[in-house]
Amino acid sequence: MEIDMHNDIMSEGKAMIGVNEGEAVPKLIDYYKKGLFPLDRLVKFYNFDQINEALADSKAVALHGSQF
């Protein structure tokens, strides 16, 4: 049985909403300039020889939140 996606969504009062992440970039830049988006605290850079530390930090953040 083939279902027409448009009719299936509309028949039950559902809506499809898309988000384009690129639309948020200008706002994030503005927030950063105003001191409202702490990008510097969200990003950490590692040298290649620190790859194991980077992986461990990534796992720690996933489990416990930011450790930086």
d(CA 21, CA 43): 18
Taking only the tens place, the pLDDT of each residue in 24-45 is: 888 888 999 999 989 888 888 9
Is the predicted pLDDT of residue 16 greater than 80, yes or no? no
- The model carries a pTM of 0.43
d(CA 57, CA 68): 9
Residue 1, pLDDT score: 47
| Residue 60 reports pLDDT greater than 70 | yes
